[in-house]
Every structure is written in C-alpha cells, then in structure tokens.
Amino acid sequence: MQIADKYAPQEIEAKWYDYWIGHDIFHSEPDEREPYTIVIPPPNVTGMLHMGHMLNNTLQDVLVRRARMSGKNACWVPGMDHASIATEAKVVAMLQKQGIEKSSLTREEFLKYAWEWKEKYGGVILQQLRKLGASCDWDRTCFTMDDARTEGVIKVFCDLYNKGKIYRGVRMVNWDPAAKTALSDEEVIFKESHGKLYYLRYKIEGSDKALIVATTRPETILGDTALCVNPNDERYKSLPQDARVIVPLVGRSIPVIRDEYVDIEFGTGALKVTPAHDVNDYMLGEKYGLETIDIFNDDGTINDKVGMYVGEDRFEVRKKIEGELAAAGLLEKTEDYTNNVGYSERTGVVIEPKLSMQWFLSMEDLAKPATKAVMEDEIKFVPEKYKNTYRHWMENIKDWCISRQLWWGQRIPAYYLPKGGYVVAETAEKALELARQKSGDASLQLADLRQDEDVLDTWFSSWLWPISVFDGIRAPHNKEIEYYYPTNDLVTGPDIIFFWVARMIMAGYEYRNVMPFKNVYFTGIVRDKIGRKMSKQLGNSPDPLDLIAQYGADGMRIAMLMSSSAGNDVMFDESLCEQGRNFGNKIWNAYRLVNGWSVDAAAAQGETEAKAVAWFEERLNEVLAEVESDFKSYRISEACMTVYRLFWDDFSGQYLEMVKPAYGAPTDAKTMEATRRFFDILMRTLHPFMPFVTEEIWQDLEPRKDGETICLAQMPAIKEADKQLLSRFELAREVISAVRNIRNQKNLPQKEELSLNVIRDENFPEEFIPLMKKMANLSEVSFVEEKDPTAAAFIVKTTQYFVPMSGKIDVEAERKKLAEDLKYYEGFLNSVMKKLSNERFVNNAPEKVVANENAKKNDAEAKIAAIKAQLEALA
C-alpha cells in the first residue's frame, strides 16, 4: 500500500475497524496466556453516546489494547442494561403516540411491544462505540435481560431468599409518582429547593386556643393522625395529657402525643404526624399505635380516603389548600424556606415518601467482606480518595428495596397461594411443588397460583455483571468464569459507586468468594471549558459522533485523554480535538517526510547521524520506562502526554532535524533503517491511544500478510536507559538552544553561520560537537583559554561559551540588556544567600535541597562574573 498525501482520518478509520472485525482480532477464548479482562459498564439500552461514554470507553480501550499488545489474552466484554424505568417510559410514550394506554394492555401484550422497541431502537450505542475504535469482543455482547442473565438473576433471588436475606414487608419507601414505582435510597437525588414554611392553626378541642404547627407540605394534613410536642418544652407544659386537636379543614380530632424526638428549636416545637407520608412520622406512628392514612394514588394525585381534593395533583392541592386555609383563618403565616428535597434520579420528579409492601435485601452481612476488601486494598481504588466515601456508605448501609412496580424487567419469582402465604422458586413448576408441600393440598394447579406482579430493580441484575457475563451464576465452575474471573480493571464514574461498584463487590464475595475486579479507576465528570457539567438542557454537550466526523476518532481520543486524570473532572474544550487531529497530522507528515528520503546504500553513516541515533535510542528507553510506570499507577492521561511529547518534541522536533539529509541529497542505509525502526516502536507505543493512524503507518512500514495487525504486535521491550548519555545530550541541547536564542535576540538570520568559542571543562559535551554544529548552524567550535568580553556569552552548567559578535551588534542596546540581566541575577543570588545564611534551613533541610541551593549560588555567581566582564569590555 502507499500512504496518501494528506491525513484524512475519515478515510482510514472505517477501513481498519472493518479489517479488525473481519479478522476476529478482538475475540478471546480461554488459553494458556495470562487473561486480562474488563467488563464494560453496560450503557442503558435506551442510551445514545455522550461525552461521559467517550471518556470512559476511551480509557477502557487504551487499557485493553495495551494488555493485548503485552501478550495477554485481552477480553473486553460489551453489553447493555435493560434500564427498567427508562425503557418502560420510552415504550409507554411510544404507545401513547399510537393512541394506546398501558392500562389497556395485559402484561404479555405490553412486553411484546417492549421487546419490539428494544430490537428496533435498543443497542444503538454499541454500534456508536465502534466509531470510537472500541476493541470489544462483540461476539460476547450480553444484555441484562437476555435468557442467561435472567436465569442467573432469578437463581440469585431464590438463593438469597432461602438464606433469609430477602424478605417482604410494608415499609416507608421512596415513591416515584411519574414512574409509579418504589426506588432505592441510592436512586434519590437531594437538591436544594426553594419553597415555603406554612404555619397552620390546630384548634385545641374544647378550647378557643390553637397550637401552631410549621410544615413544608400542607397537603399532607389530609393524612394527619397525631400532633407531637417535646415533653421538655416549657411552652406546652400546661397542655392536658389527654389533649386533642382538630386537623385544619379536615375536621378530624387527633391526639397530642409527647416524644423527645421533636426538635424544640424548629418552628414552633409542635410537629404534625403523618405516618403514611414521612419516614420519621412512620416511626412515631409505630411507637404510639397511630392510624395510618395513605392519601396518595400511585401517580401523586389525592385518593378518595378523605373525600377532599380527590383526583387532584399534589402540587395543585398545595396551592389550593393555602388559599382555603387562609380563608378559614387557619393559616397563621407563611415564610420563604429553603430545604433539601428528594428527586427521582430517573424521572426528575419530587419523591413522595409512601408506605408500601415491597421486597428488601438485607445488606449488613453482605457489606462486611466488601468493606474489608477495599479498606485493606485487596481492591484498589484510583484515586484513593474514594475509599472514605465508600467506607462511610458501607458502614451506614440500609436494606435495599429491590422491587419495582413495573412490567419491564425480571419478574419476582414469588407465587401466592389461594388461601394465603407464598412460595419462592426459580420456575413455576418448582413453585407448584413447593405450594403443594406448604399447603398440604396435592390438588393445587398452576392456575391456582398468582405470581408477584413486581419486577426486580435493574441494579439487581447489573450487580452480578462481572459474574453473569461468563455465566458464572448458572454454571459456577465453567471454563470461562474460572479463566476470566476475577476481572482486572473496572473503569466507571464515582456517581455509581453505591448503585453498582459496591454491590458488585458484595455479589463477588457472596457468589465467588473473591473480588470481582482488582482495580477501580474512577473517571471525573465531563464539564465544558468554563466548568459547567455537560447536559442537553444547557446545550453545552456536543454530539461525540459529530466530533469524530470532524476530527477523527484518534483526535477525539487524544482530546479526552489530554483533559482527564483519574478522579478529576474533565474540562473539555473542542480545541483539544483539533489539537488531537493536528497530532495525527504531525505523525502522518513525519512519516511522509522519512518516506521521501532516498537511500545511498554505499554511503557510510555520518558522525552526526550516529550520535542522533544513539541519543534517541536511549531517549526511547527512558520514555518507555516512564510510560510503563504511569500505566502501573493508572496515570493514563500522563502516559499519553509523555508519548505525545516524545513524538512531537524529541522525535519530530529534534531527531528528524538531526538526521534529515540536505535538500535533494540521500541518507545512508543505517540511518534510514534506524529511523524506520524508531517509527515502528513509536507506532506500537502510541497504538493504544491512537489505534487508526498507527495501524495505517505500521502497515506501510514493511510488507504485511493478510490478518497481520499492529493490535497484536508486541509492546516495545523496555531496556535500561544510558542516563549518562542522556544528561550529556541535554547539555548539548541547551547549547543549541542558547545559540538560537542569541540569533533571535541579535536579529541574526538563521542561514548565517556563526562560530562558537568554549572554555572547555568536564561539563562540555565534546562528543556532540557534530550535532551542535548542524543544529545551531555553526561553522566551527573552538577551544579558548580566555573570556571574550565582546562576544555574546552564556553558561551551560559550569561551561562558558562565547559567540563572537564583532560587527554584529548595537553596543548601546547590548549594554542596556546586560545591565538588566546583571540586576536580575544579583537579585536572584541575594534570595539564594538569604536561604543559605539561615542556620535553621541549612541544618534542617534535606541534604539534597541544600546542595541544590549551593548549585544555584555557584551558577548565579558565574553568570554575574561573565556579565560584568562583558560590560567592562563594552565600556
């Protein structure tokens, strides 16, 4: 193949992705190699690719590709989450557009529509991930509601029930009136909300007095069954023990109870008690045997239990009731009030605390080994700061409400008997067998049993994900689970540390007695360049596919990696995509430059080229070790930037300039071979970050067989770098830079040859004279014994250099500049001497720090002496 003149990522990316898929490059089967496994955080089946997915999946792909090139059997398992609430809402909306109400359908009819929707629209995101270059084993794609995963979920439910860890009961739950289902505590987002505090008058029965009660939810007076005061509150000491009050507007007589739970300082110190609609009120109701009146329908409208406001929305009633209380003289006053209100994480509506019969999983025993694993670093969190967040939640864990009042999801395998009671079983047939045993009625038939209507929380399937993708629940000793589990790395956001990460760890210890993954890399939140979280509502979230179309997937990946480090928010700016594409262009043009050189097979390698090759060989060794260290510490962004600078600055900016032949002249074979070998090493090192452009160039470097790919090429071997050679080269680089600076300062053209005089000492890199002459355009480098006051002087470490300036400078301008330099270095020397004259600093600072300050002193003194000599010569 012949590489194109211009870098056009859109033309190469689809070609190489199809090539990889066509040759099964990403497919994995258990073998004798060390496995490297990642399971994708399954995106919602309803989802579309957004910037958070771009970040998360770029990081996963970098890890997987590097593992694959390190000789490991890399397996990245993709899949989707069935997302009960989100999917059911999508299907309901679709049906409403067709004039069909969910309530008019049977469960089976609704699920038929839901599966049709899933097959038609679900999974778009997995196709989109291919555009990014995601090297998933697509043959292994799983869905949390497919047959294998569903059987595993049902099996786990039955197992936990039989162990006594799953139970059913009436509890106060978080009710989502939009989705008409209970939610777990983790699915409730608390936000600061601005509302009112309503002061209501509860008339004391048999008196013309009233107790004033403050509430933020006046509509709930319909369910009031007591009023509570603190027995220590002096304001209510005179109130009779058997006092009763009248609920405003409702007219219901309720008792006044006394409990120290009431905060004397809040409001008036009197609390209305609504056991059906407040968690704390529920506990008071249980304690004092109060009546419980549930006033809400499942959709948040008022039911008919009280006979007021029937069918009206809760917030409309709040507005209406305020006016009616005021008209009746039962509203003392209102005040603006700010408090934290719970919202549904899925639908965004205000949560309503509601008493409901639900299924719960007891978490205390499950949490213990999972807490220990993280706190003792058996599972490592990157960054570590999330360990404390995790520990706090785990130590205060509550039982998990696992039932949802939906149809899309795994139906709870509980079956109710005709005469009361229930059984739990994996299949209806097993349930019938258990029901006959439990009831003693051998004549019972399947038609006599009624299965629970609820489904399980979506997270109840995804908490098994690292096990279930390898069928480890149904077949706990199968070859795949034994080989691929535990997985290596999990890349996810800290926002689901409780929803998902903690629960997967619990499931891992419960069902495999071992961690599900060894490391958890937490990404940050993707924000725009001014720090706002990206969202559709703000209109600040670009479509990743548009960015890929414009800048290429490689450019997009570099942009994500440049702007992220573990646990820190990503400040995304589209200009980074341009920078990423420009980097691809830089690689492309550098390769085309080298490809354009002709080779003289008979020519010997020049001294300049030999030194350049020797230096870059060691620089490569140094950077490859740095990159390896970065990956071991999960500094993935830093590793990317290190390789970026290696190519842009060292290889393209330095090495190629050193070995580039004169215009029209050939290079020698040895230098060309080394340069192409360096290109091969650089492409392999860059490949996990930029898979497409590196494949294109690697394929062109030498003839390849069909099916060969850089994806399976080995990562370059790491050798110990020659630090002495590298430090000596750095001295030469400083000399070249200093001569170039003199040219700029004196406005001397680059084409004009200069000469360089040196007072030679042990820090002069004499072996790099040929390189210095070529790179700084020097006609000669001479050794002198005396300083040349008329020359432009500079010092590198301890070596003094002089560029003769006879007839080339404005003397007055030079004197002025030297005077400014002298003032700066004298001030710098003064600040260093203050430190060195401080006995406490010299005696207490590390020896290396003191030595560094002494080196600064010597350097400044040498520079001051040189400047004074120059000024004297110009006098």
Q: What pLDDT score was predicted for residue 1?
A: 58
Say if residues 666 and 606 touch (Cβ distance below 8 Å).
Answer: no
In angstroms, the CA 851 to CA 833 distance is: 13
In angstroms, the CA 195 to CA 635 distance is: 45
In angstroms, the CA 156 to CA 867 distance is: 81
Q: What pLDDT score was predicted for residue 728?
A: 96
In angstroms, the CA 528 to CA 67 distance is: 32
Encode pLDDT of 71-116 as tens digits. Answer: 999 999 999 999 998 899 889 999 999 999 999 999 999 999 999 9
Helix (H, G, I), strand (E, B) or coil at 63: helix
Structure-token pair, residue 62:
């970098």
Encode pLDDT of 117-135 as tens digits. Answer: 999 888 888 989 999 999 9
Whole-number Cα distances in Å, 759 to 25, 520, 771, 869: 59, 56, 19, 15
In angstroms, the CA 277 to CA 403 distance is: 19
Burial of 74 (0-12, 13-18, 19+ CB in 10 A): buried
Region of 195 (left: φ > 0; alpha: ψ -120 to 50; beta: rest) is beta
Q: What pLDDT score was predicted for residue 121?
A: 84
Long-range contacts of 288-292 (CB under 8 A, 24+ apart): 288/226, 288/257, 288/259, 290/225, 290/226, 290/257, 291/225, 292/223, 292/225, 292/355
The contacts of residue 510 (CB under 8 Å, 6+ apart) are: 366
Which parts of the chain sit beneath pLDDT 70?
1, 536-537, 566-567, 807, 809
Q: What pLDDT score was predicted for residue 184?
A: 85
DSSP state of 412: P
Whole-number Cα distances in Å, 760 to 765, 778, 797: 9, 17, 12
Instruction: Report the relative pairing of strands 253-258 and 73-77 from DSSP bridges.
Output: unpaired
Q: What pLDDT score was predicted for residue 86?
A: 87
In which residue are the tokens 């704390």 written? Answer: 280
Helix (H, G, I), strand (E, B) or coil at 509: helix
pTM of the model: 0.84
Strands in 792-796's sheet, in edge-to-edge order, are 778-783, 754-759, 799-803, 792-796
The contacts of residue 389 (CB under 8 Å, 6+ apart) are: 494, 497
Helix (H, G, I), strand (E, B) or coil at 217: coil
Whole-number Cα distances in Å, 539 to 54, 144, 154, 531, 543: 18, 31, 41, 14, 10
Q: What pLDDT score was predicted for residue 812?
A: 80
Q: Of 715, 713, 716, which Cα lies nearest the Cα of 704?
A: 713
In which residue are the tokens 């393209």 written? Answer: 652
In angstroms, the CA 611 to CA 609 distance is: 5
In angstroms, the CA 768 to CA 728 distance is: 8
Helix-, strand-, coil-residue percentages of the chain, each rounded to 5 = 45, 20, 35
Q: What pLDDT score was predicted for residue 567?
A: 66
> Which amino acid makes up residue 608?
T
Q: What is the end-to-end Cα distance of the chain in Å, rounded? A: 66
Considering only CA atoms, give the Rg of the chain: 37
Q: What pLDDT score was predicted for residue 746?
A: 85
Neighbours of 605 (CB within 10 A): 17
Helix (H) or strand (E) holding 118: helix 107-121
